């Protein structure tokens, strides 16, 4: 079984927010606000088959919220 997909939203040194996968070198999402980064990260996870979204506190970097994002709805569920 493969490890669960996860994105962590956190504040960068330049003041913007990023959504990055654990162990990743580059951010999947960079946004001006935490809310925008969370929204875009949810969309990426949903399109990628679902996964875990963790949001870090701005003040101390501790995870303040963790959600499971379900798989997105496939408009075509039939084979072929």
CB 54 within 8 A of CB 7: yes
The pair of three-digit structure tokens given for residue 64, joined into one six-digit string = 């303040």
Instruction: Tell me how far apart the alpha carbons of residues 23 and 6 are, in angstroms, rounded to a whole number.
Output: 10
Q: What is the pLDDT of residue 71?
A: 85
Please, where are the H alpha helices in 1-80? 34-47
Q: Classify residue 51 as left (phi > 0), alpha (psi -120 to 50) or beta.
A: left
Per-domain boundaries in the chain: 6-69
Tens digit of pLDDT for each residue in 36-60?
999 999 999 999 999 999 999 999 9
Q: How confident is the model at residue 72 (pLDDT cuts 50, 70, 90)?
A: confident
Q: According to the model, what pLDDT value does residue 67 have?
A: 94
**10-15, Cβ contacts within 8 angstroms, sequence gap of 24 or more:** 10/56, 10/61, 11/56, 11/58
Would you say residue 77 has pLDDT above 90?
no
pTM for this entry: 0.84
- Cβ atoms of residues 31 and 17 within 8 Å: yes
């Amino acid at each position: 079984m493969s490890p669960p997909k996860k994105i962590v939203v956190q504040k960068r040194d330049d003041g913007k927010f990023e959504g990055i996968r654990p162990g990743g070198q580059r951010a999947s999402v960079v946004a001006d606000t935490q809310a925008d980064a969370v929204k875009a990260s949810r969309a990426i996870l949903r399109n990628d088959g679902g996964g875990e979204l963790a949001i870090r506190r701005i003040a101390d970097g501790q995870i303040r919220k963790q959600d499971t994002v379900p798989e997105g709805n496939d408009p075509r569920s039939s084979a072929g």
